[in-house]
Structure 1
């Protein structure tokens, strides 16, 4: 097990606690991404940590190979914003990734992201075909094109912790449902360096339907149309 000072990447996951199967799948996807990164020499075993925060419940803890910390927070709602901010404060890694409990990383995610340690903000593409009528986000273009509403998700990002906790001011709940974009835009405006990759690093809605009781209204509507 790596010492806290040796942690390279912290993966942040807020969870409502009603998607245990999807959360377990997210954890397995992280394990696979870590295994590939270790095999390719990007990290050493134990240098990636998974931080999971449950919103007002004692959620089920999936068994994973990646060192994991599970925290049962008081009920906050607000789309997991307060939990993300709290987990960021607990993060030991110099790099932050965001993996919601109904999403998944691709096997190459960490290898792709950690190949750009010189950039404070790395933006990569994600598969959104399970949720939307387009295959990938962000759409083709440069970084400025990517950072606009409806074109980017936290799953696309690998950020310097110094950027997020310093000039980025943590993870704000301003905007409620739209806070993801507002936070990402603030980080982009305050980053001293950024890079955009063509690599696909995640699958949005990968866990949709695994926990029927945990689906949101958009996911229910998408399944109903099939």
Structure 2
């Protein structure tokens, strides 16, 4: 499949500074949360070991711990560290949820700008698809017409049916009222691909036709 355009000359989303900054912030929050959760696991393991040692602490170890506290030496409080890291993890989770919205909105805004930039090219290519459908319908009718003409000459139908009509569809005629999906798609795509000049010309033609119908009704 060919790229959207051969030479888009348009920046990648992740290269735009305003998006990159927000995406990087979200990535940093995720990385910090991963480190924080790993640290909590390590602290829990250390706390369990500490509890096991405390239950088997000797009298000498109890005396030494008391002396350290009297000397003003800080004793590592694993429970407090677990509490602090758990609080940080919860804060990071809330920040990630909020930052996801910021990134989503930035992506949506920049996507709208990209859509506007590529709109004319997209309409041109949609018009090509519309024209291809019309040509396919015309080609189908010519293929059918030849086989019908041969049968009108009195010959049996020997040539295979080669008109292209996808399964579950009865016709590729975009103007057929019972055309279902084909007719609905054609109307939407044709309207979308239409230029403002074409839209104005169609409106004028419809207004002119309406006037002629009114005049005909009066005569």
Q: Same fold (TM over 0.5)?
A: no
TM-score range, shorter chain: under 0.3
Greater RCO between the two (CA within 8 Å, min separation 6)?
A: 1
TM-score of the aligned structures, taking structure 1 as reference length: 0.18
